[in-house]
Structure 1
Amino acid sequence: MIKPVLDVIVVGAGHAGIGVSYYLTKQGVPHLVFEQGRIGETWRSQRWDSFKMNSANKLNLLPQQAPYFDDPDAFAGATEFALALETYAHQESLPVKEYCPVVSVHTDQERAVFRVTVSQEGKETVYLSRRLVIASGGQNKIWVPDFANHLAKSVMQLHASEYKNAHQLPAGNVLVVGSGQSGTQIAQDLLHSGRHVFLSTARVGRIPRRYRGKDIFDWLVKIGFYNTPTEEVTDPSLLKVKNPQVSGAGQRGKTSSLQSLARSGAIILGRADRAEANTIFFQPNSSSNVRYADEFSQHVKQLIDEYIQKNKVLAPLADIDLDDVPDEEAACASDLTQLNLVQVAITSIIWTTGFSGDFSYLPLPVLSDEQLPKHRNGIGTVDGLYFIGLPWLRKRQSAIILGIKEDAEFIVSHIVNSSLSGKR
């Protein structure tokens, strides 16, 4: 029996895949979306209990989505956001198949289609499509440094995606490795729970929660910060800069800084780089990491000030934000370069060291030497293959929910135009 051929298959039903499906549906393009769990699965299963989005609800809406949250300026939790995705998909009648992980993808050269094998209800089923959109993201495989394996088995180790709350940890102090958005939020959560926290930092910028009368994201959108096209970036290192520290915790979020965590009791350490049994070693760079974060905040505020002055925008002077005051002497930084975990009573480590992309199901010649998708503005190097939901896919904003609408519309427009021109 000849299998029917879909126009498009979308892999992943997070905000990226759902956004693509919306535009495909509006264009009348037959397609299916496969999700390994439930809609928005990673938001449901890989976030801690107190997690809050870093951008306000009004910035996290999908294409033509009616305001879902009661307070547009508040910050939703992970489950709330996942439910918003699910509600949107149902309201728009998007063809999502949940609990259908994609096992493999191959090309059928004779028929010029993709053969997508899916695990469905305990058995493998093959679907055919002319085009394939990979919306599974580049942050879906836990990454922990190899030296974590050198630590004593008595120390409990969890990745940030496995951490829920302090109650799942044994009694004792906690080492959090990584000072990005996840690391600083989890450190704050542990401090609020009464735990003594050691924080191993990295070179990560930060931004104030509010500045001159607006939430910082409102300013960043207004000044066009996120509109930088990837193809105009001349310094490749910019493409690897981590998202700055900021927190949506609390009623209106808060500024997150290493000095504010230190005032709450955290010990600020340098970057962890090796371990032996009960000892973990750190680079002597805690002070420079503090200064880098402060300088990043000052730079962003300067960009906003320049925009205000150039465009004669009426804006109040900045309020005093103690958490945003630079620690010019990096007094909050510890000069310790090693810790004996037994001596300082550390019984658990939370690795907030991020993820890598898992494209093992895609054995096509489409990955770089670093195992990252090769594409230009989301258009893959194999005809009919597309990517979405990757950092700097087309612009700086591609890494945040706000940027999905434009990227999804671009990808679907290319698919439709290719169909009209007779291309695959």
Structure 2
Amino acid sequence: MTATSDLAGHQLAGGLDGRHVPVAVIGGGQAGLSASHRLSARGLEHVVLEKHRVGHEWAERRWDSFCLVTPNYQCQLPGFAYADYTGDGSGDGDGFMVKDQIVGYLRAFARSFDAPLHEGVAATRLAHDERSFVLSTSRGTLRADQVVLAAGPYQIPKTPRFAERLPAHVVQLHSSAYRNAAQLPAGEVLVVGTGQSGCQIAEDLHLAGRRVHLATGTAPRVARVYRGKDCMTWLDEIGHYAKGLDEFPDQEATRYKVNHYVTGRDGGRDIDLRAFARDGMRLYGRLRDVDRATGTIAFDDDLRSNLDGADAVAESIKDLVDAHVDALGLDAPPEPRYTPVWEPGDDTPTSLDPVGAGVTSVIWCTGFTRDYSWVDLPAFDGRGYPTHHRGVTSVPGLYVLGMPWQWTWGSGRFRGVADDAEYLAERIQARVARKVAA
């Protein structure tokens, strides 16, 4: 017998090579651990394989000032809500955990039910040989009757191909490698992308006194607080988190929606790109291309529409809140709506010479791609997305968990992954029962 080291020094007995398990869960983040919790509750034997350590993605691929954008009380991992983690009442349910606290929360969750976890185990190939799934790993090969893919959607950092055309002296980092302003050489910084990462990193650099150039996109925004309550709490009360994908007219478009930008930093506040511009940040439209000969960066002429679109979404959420307050007669005093503090002029630049502007760094906040190249099964569409319904894929016995909008807005978050894990655990148990009956 061998022993695989678990978090906090705990020793999990039992090797992997040659083993046959009823269920293998790939990934030891919030999704994989949630699946493990629900399987354990049913007495179903399984293993959880984690390539690194629990919490690795949060600890190693987030910047120093990173924190959640949803209130802590919405961290509802199965059987282990935020209040269970803090325990003694010292926690701030309306606050926003910073990354070290998030890592601690996840590791405490794994300990809370003694997850059958193997850390430092990379899955290298998954196939099926008509008898069972065959899973090759860095610690040997095992078989499983059923498999849950819970490795998350944010696997390979994505940068545009034209990034290679920038001048050689310009330091380029993906958002997953950014830590703080001191990491970068002196000079101005171009941040590309205005999803949550782009906006928060731009703010981090701005607060550090760096001159920031920000290439915007079409990501929406949301106010932090409206009518006396966090907007995320309003949306929770309205039922937005529980709204299933089948309730939306265009499910595919919904599944690929970009998250609203806001921040939990320093207790939480709005991120207003117009205010950044008013205070000296340079805003541009979407980055379109980099000239191969000169390194000049070209932007689309869509800055105004990007800002207006983000504001329109924020105001539409306030409309939902107003309707909810009125329908229930809640005591939530009205407040003035947002008034833009800055408008782009007709002379908004659509190009940038990085050398002339003194830009020495570029942070690519352009997202991630999925990597299921190691899964040798017909479970994916033409874009490499798993074909599934609520996590049940087109391959019998194969499941996915933790995907954004897997079923609800909360599927990829601490708020909703427990419900998805419960749904899959029921299907897994039913499949086991059918096999026993046969």
TM-score where L is the length of structure 2: 0.91
Report how far residue 57 of structure 1 moved: 1.2
SS of the equivalent of 1:342 reads: helix
Summarize the Cα distance change of 1:97–1:6 in structure 2 as closer, same or farther, 3 Å threshold. Answer: same
Q: Structure 1: state its 5+ residue gaps.
A: none
Q: Distance in 2 between matches of 1:357 and 1:316?
A: 45
Q: Residue 394 in 1 paired to residue 407 in 2? A: yes
Report how far residue 87 of structure 1 moved: 1.2
The equivalences for 1:148-167 within 5 A come to 148-167=163-182
Report how far residue 418 of structure 1 moved: 1.7
Summarize the Cα distance change of 1:332–1:316 in structure 2 as closer, same or farther, 3 Å threshold. Answer: farther
Task: Give the match for residue 116 of structure 1.
Answer: 135
Q: Residue 185 in 1 paired to residue 185 in 2? A: no
Q: Distance in 2 between matches of 1:268 and 1:32?
A: 48
| Deviation readout 1:355-378 (Å, 9 max, x if unpaired) | 111111112111110111111110
Q: 1:299 aligns with which of 316, 331, 336?
A: 316
Task: Give the match for residue 259 of structure 2.
Answer: 243
Report how far residue 168 of structure 1 moved: 1.0
Q: 1:256 aligns with which of 265, 268, 271?
A: 271
Q: Distance in 2 between matches of 1:267 and 1:401?
A: 34
The equivalences for 1:306-385 within 5 A come to 306-318=323-335, 325-327=338-340, 330-331=343-344, 335-385=348-398
Q: Distance in 1 between matches of 2:339 and 2:393?
A: 43
- Counterpart contact for 1:174–1:198, Cα < 8 Å: yes
Q: Distance in 1 between matches of 2:342 and 2:55?
A: 43
SS of the equivalent of 1:397 reads: coil
SS of the equivalent of 2:360 reads: strand
- Counterpart contact for 1:199–1:267, Cα < 8 Å: yes
Q: Distance in 2 between matches of 1:411 and 1:325?
A: 42
Report how far residue 173 of structure 1 moved: 0.1
Summarize the Cα distance change of 1:178–1:333 in structure 2 as closer, same or farther, 3 Å threshold. Answer: farther
Q: Distance in 1 between matches of 2:340 and 2:22?
A: 56
Task: Give the match for residue 286 of structure 1.
Answer: 303
SS of the equivalent of 1:90 reads: helix
Q: Distance in 2 between matches of 1:326 and 1:52?
A: 27
Q: Distance in 1 between matches of 2:243 and 2:76?
A: 21
Q: Residue 130 in 1 paired to residue 145 in 2? A: yes
Task: Give the match for residue 232 of structure 1.
Answer: 247
Task: Give the match for residue 17 of structure 1.
Answer: 32
Q: Residue 73 in 1 paired to residue 94 in 2? A: yes
Report how far residue 327 of structure 1 moved: 2.2
SS of the equivalent of 1:106 reads: strand
Q: Distance in 1 between matches of 2:37 and 2:434?
A: 22
Q: How many corresponding residue pairs?
A: 412
Q: Distance in 1 between matches of 2:21 and 2:47?
A: 8
- Counterpart contact for 2:29–2:55, Cα < 8 Å: yes
Report how far residue 265 of structure 1 moved: 2.0
Report how far residue 312 of structure 1 moved: 1.7
Q: Distance in 2 between matches of 1:329 and 1:13?
A: 44
Summarize the Cα distance change of 1:329–1:74 in structure 2 as closer, same or farther, 3 Å threshold. Answer: closer
State the Cα RMSD in Å.
1.8
Report how far residue 333 of structure 1 moved: 9.1
Report how far residue 101 of structure 1 moved: 0.9
Summarize the Cα distance change of 1:209–1:364 in structure 2 as closer, same or farther, 3 Å threshold. Answer: same
Aligned-residue identity in percent? 34
Amino acid corresponding to residue 359 of structure 1 in structure 2: Y
Amino acid corresponding to residue 371 of structure 1 in structure 2: G
